[in-house]
A and B are shown apart, each in its own frame.
Chain A
Amino acid sequence: MPKVLIVDDEPFIRLLLEQTLEELEDDGVELITADNGETALEIIRAEAPEMVFLDVMMPKMNGFDVCQAVKNDLGLSEVYIVLLTAKGQEFDKQKGIDVGADIYMTKPFNPDQVLAKTREILGMAP
């Protein structure tokens, strides 16, 4: 059963992403949420989700650090990581590449595109 992890400290964004991807649950995808970087890293290590939506700006452990830890872990380097950045906020693309993120997405995000991209990454029919 493929797993998708949603990590954001803002409950609103978690709720929206969860709702956006909700229909995938009917196809057997499990959606997991986390509200901080540390928990996220624990979950990724324990569950090895296929895909992670990872907020960059979070207290304690930020998205860059989580991403780097995941991508440096041999067994986890295949996890597809989407960094979430806020529009208007300075986003260091170079850093995103350095820590091994696969793509980045600006909030507000387009729900239709997010759903389509997730299906694509999970290898599901559009």
Chain B
Amino acid sequence: MPPINIAKLIKRRDFAPVLNRLVAALGASVIIEDHHGKLLLSTADAVRQTGYPVSVAGEIIGWVNGNEQAGAIAALLCHQAESEFEKRTLAAETLNKYKEITLLYEMVEQVTCCLDTKEIARLVIEQAKRVLELSSVAVLLLDKESGLMELVATHGQELDGTRSIRPGVGIAGSVWSSGRAEIVNDVPADPRAAGSARVSSLMCAPLKAKDQVVGVIKLGSAQPVNYSADDLKLFTTLASLAAVAIENASLYEQLQEAFYTTVYTLAETIEKRDPYTGNHTKRVMEYSLAIGRTMGLDQETMTRLQLGAVLHDVGKIGVRDAVLLKESALTDEEFEQIKRHAVYGEEMISGISRLRTAIPGVRQHHEKFDGRGYPDGLSGEQIDITARVISVADSYDAMTTDRPYRKGLTIDEAFAELRKHAGTQFDATVVDAFFASDVMEAYFIANSRKKILDTID
């Protein structure tokens, strides 16, 4: 492909009239052809006499043939092509810079409001793919427990081998230790690659938060590439943006974890009054989340659901032991007292702003789909979705748990009970979602879970 297309050049709106006027004024007899000899323009009486090349950047892009004036036309075309070429080259460079700016701009917007480290890693990879020549990218983050950098996101296969790295080992390991970004354009020749390299060229940059290296990002190409200092600069800018965002996200995660731990400890303390329910809260939470995922609930609802499920029975703290733990049949008055736990629950959490979203789940978890529940006798969709879900999860767990005075139902029996009351006590859609969820998996997750966090990915 010639650097400038002469056919397009002579048809340009701003140039074609100039060319035509000049041809007419000079009385030139010309035939203009492209470099393949394809006819582009010819005056009426044109005859071939002398051919003048039109060239730009040392390459012939076409010919002007004709009488002696054709030489002047060729010179004009050369000049025009040359200036067009300069303009194009400049424009291409400008556009490249502009792309980098938009990239950083978008990165800042997306990444700074993103509070999930994996998501940030994925965004960084997306952006790097857009502006740098590469076939693989890997983002590794420091795992505080193992003290190693662990792979959190990748693109391409060549860097997949590095699931984790140690300080000082390999190219990424030495970038970690030195804290300085590097270009390695000939990876196989680098002794640190230890012959295992599947990329020909790579760049690696540390992710630094307050002078601490908290991760590394490396990108490579299976085909040899000559990464330049400019590329490295762009790459380290990306890396430092990512580092700030990751630092933010991990602070947020810690806060989040502290919050959930507090909430869970509260729920657990209350649960401990009734020692036979062991792990009930965790299971209700897991069942609820499993149902929510099956139903495709959005993130905000899932968070409310999780909190509601954990806190659904906190109101029991307001019910006397003598009633709460009574093993024989309850009198009507005692049952009325038990029923109050839903309202007590709301009262307890309404003072804590971050827990307020859980109120519907807590207050309404004993409402029934047909309106025969308590405390408000709501029915159908008047009952918040989180409460409809918690109700199924809570009932199923209560049915299947052994009590000192009665054996729990088998799983099949409990399923049959749910099915029987779907549409009356329970929302049938929720019951269906429960059946479609991996209930057993949720059970085991609940029982093996120490921390309450990590459940919402």
Binding site for B on A (CB under 8 A): 12, 15-16, 18-20, 22, 25, 32, 108-112
Residues of A within 8 A of B266 (CB): none
Dominant secondary structure at the B interface? helix
Considering the complex, give the chain B residue whose CB is closest to the CB of A111. Answer: B99
Task: Check A16–B94 contact: CB distance below 8 A.
Answer: yes
B130 is an interface residue with CB less than 8 A from chain A = yes
Task: Check A111–B94 contact: CB distance below 8 A.
Answer: no
Q: B104 to chain A: closest CB distance in Å?
A: 10
Considering the complex, give the chain B residue whose CB is closest to the CB of A12. Answer: B94
Residues of B within 8 A of A109 (CB): 102
* Distance of A32 Cα from B5 Cα, bound (Å): 17
Given A25-B8, A32-B13, A112-B130, are A20 and B105 neighbors across the interface (CB < 8 Å)? Answer: no
Task: Check B94–A19 contact: CB distance below 8 A.
Answer: yes
Considering the complex, give the chain B residue whose CB is closest to the CB of A18. Answer: B91
Residues of A within 8 A of B105 (CB): 108
Residues of B within 8 A of A19 (CB): 88, 91-92, 94-95
The 4 A-B pairs at the shortest CB distance, nearest first, are namely A19-B91, A19-B95, A108-B102, A110-B102
Residues of B within 8 A of A112 (CB): 99, 130
Tell me the chain B residues, 1-54 only, with Cβ under 8 Å from chain A: 5, 8, 13
Task: Check B101–A108 contact: CB distance below 8 A.
Answer: yes
B98 is an interface residue with CB less than 8 A from chain A = yes
Interface core residue of A12, A19, A32, A108 (most chain B CB under 10 Å): A19
B106 is an interface residue with CB less than 8 A from chain A = yes
Tell me the chain B residues, 90-117 only, with Cβ under 8 Å from chain A: 91-92, 94-95, 98-99, 101-102, 105-106
* Distance of A112 Cα from B130 Cα, bound (Å): 9
* Distance of A12 Cα from B98 Cα, bound (Å): 11
Give the number of residues in B that approach A within 8 Å (Cβ atoms).
15
**Assuming A19-B94, A22-B91, A25-B5, what are 16 further A-B pairs, CB within 8 angstroms?**
A12-B94, A15-B91, A15-B94, A16-B91, A16-B98, A19-B92, A20-B95, A25-B8, A32-B13, A108-B102, A108-B105, A111-B95, A111-B99, A111-B102, A112-B99, A112-B130
Q: A8 to chain B: closest CB distance in Å?
A: 14
Instruction: Choose from A18, A22, A111 the contact partner of B98 (Cβ within 8 Å).
Output: A111
Residues of A within 8 A of B95 (CB): 16, 19-20, 111
Residues of A within 8 A of B13 (CB): 32
Considering the complex, give the chain B residue whose CB is closest to the CB of A109. Answer: B102
Binding site for A on B (CB under 8 A): 5, 8, 13, 88, 91-92, 94-95, 98-99, 101-102, 105-106, 130
* Distance of A111 Cα from B131 Cα, bound (Å): 12
Residues of A within 8 A of B88 (CB): 19, 22
* Distance of A22 Cα from B130 Cα, bound (Å): 18
Q: A65 to chain B: closest CB distance in Å?
A: 24
* Distance of A111 Cα from B103 Cα, bound (Å): 10
* Distance of A45 Cα from B130 Cα, bound (Å): 38
* Distance of A25 Cα from B88 Cα, bound (Å): 13
Q: A70 to chain B: closest CB distance in Å?
A: 20
Residues of B within 8 A of A25 (CB): 5, 8
Instruction: Choose from B8, B92, B94, B98 the contact partner of A108 (Cβ within 8 Å).
Output: B98
Residues of A within 8 A of B92 (CB): 19
* Distance of A95 Cα from B130 Cα, bound (Å): 34
* Distance of A111 Cα from B99 Cα, bound (Å): 7
* Distance of A16 Cα from B98 Cα, bound (Å): 8
Q: A116 to chain B: closest CB distance in Å?
A: 12
19 contacts between A and B (CB under 8 A): A15-B94, A16-B91, A16-B94, A16-B95, A18-B91, A19-B91, A19-B92, A19-B95, A20-B95, A22-B88, A25-B5, A32-B13, A108-B98, A108-B101, A108-B102, A109-B102, A110-B106, A111-B102, A112-B130
Considering the complex, give the chain A residue whose CB is closest to the CB of B13. Answer: A32
Considering the complex, give the chain A residue whose CB is closest to the CB of B87. Answer: A15
Q: B344 to chain A: closest CB distance in Å?
A: 48
Considering the complex, give the chain A residue whose CB is closest to the CB of B105. Answer: A108
Residues of B within 8 A of A108 (CB): 98, 101-102, 105
Residues of B within 8 A of A111 (CB): 95, 98-99, 102
Residues of A within 8 A of B130 (CB): 112
* Distance of A3 Cα from B5 Cα, bound (Å): 18
* Distance of A22 Cα from B92 Cα, bound (Å): 10
Residues of B within 8 A of A22 (CB): 88, 91
Considering the complex, give the chain A residue whose CB is closest to the CB of B101. Answer: A108
